[in-house]
Structure 1
């Protein structure tokens, strides 16, 4: 069955910062909040929402500085990202929720679960770790500066991001159309500042506080150590780890069918299946 998704966007203001929230609909069994990775946006979860809405009400956040959320803001600290998520859950969700995050979104998600266990019924962390990464800002800068922007048109952007694949289409769709072409819907320096804490900050103490059922998902071809992700699952009360073969860092886009199977299996395990 093909699920038809109509995305309803609405703006909210938190501490003077306007955030864009995407409501994918779904039944009222439980709320799901989806957090994208660095340089992403909430709409990248559309293919996931197409099947996830049968389990509950699905919303996604354009995190600060991303997508249609406000970009000209001074604070890109980890605490600011975490507080944004907490406020969205408190004001627009029926907690406790299922929280899903990929990459930077996964980091933000597990810090919310550690800080506010009352808000999170279950957690899915995709390709994110508590380890510091001294090279992360340099790697991000090199990656973003490799984008030959502006792209002249949508097809050119799609080709750059891998062609007519879910990954390629999703990243091309995330670009912002301007008079001179297609540009990222973010500022590069904001993205780099968003990972300042990851250069040296160790979040293992926070990670070990997580008590809800937690699934850690990794990609076999990712740059992230799968041994590290496996050890994360072993270091919390109710953790489990799955590696998706032939997938990389953006595995929810690169191996969407397998990602669905993995998530649905987890939801059934924690008795959220329909």
Structure 2
């Protein structure tokens, strides 16, 4: 989760304007990106729209994102689908998610399959297949993609299709490439085998990366090792962000909760 303020608007806009003055249509896309990052999705959408009209295919996806951020969900879905049709797997993933959220499972399956190159597509497609009554197909898909998708790896470990040392090694295989999705589950595996120091290190890493679930789990682990002041600080932060488990842990320890 990136909460860093965007403070490059002036420079990015100036760069894009220079491009526009030189006749570079990609500058329309760049200007839209600057405005989107600065929190102006409705204005950004105007530039993405003009860019895609002039053949900047990346603007199809970004126009969908801008429309989504503006609250125009149906328009966003249309642009995500157009992005997918142009061959953008990210657009296909977004189109699949929108269809799944609306309960259009057949359409969701279609677009998730088009997004197969995205590691996170497998678990989402698996959820759709289970909802369609095709649980065996879903399980096989997730298992087959466990080495390329950290989300699939986590599901396999939690579901028990991979266990023991094999589970630990599978999760650890993502530490150099895409660690955040696996860190909390890996910490639990470390705790199960008595490696509290390893679990703590993993949870601290995930917390630094912005994972509030990891922050809560770290707070609970710190209670177990007797570091109550730091545990309370972690859990208070998580509870204030709406984490119910953190709030319950605070109450259980007699520290109260944050409203």
The structure with the largest helix share of the pair is 2
Q: TM-score range by the shorter chain?
A: under 0.3
Larger Rg computed on CA atoms: 2
The structure with the largest strand share of the pair is 1
Which of structures 1 and 2 has the larger relative contact order (alpha carbons within 8 angstroms, sep 6+)? 1
TM-score by length of structure 2 reads: 0.26
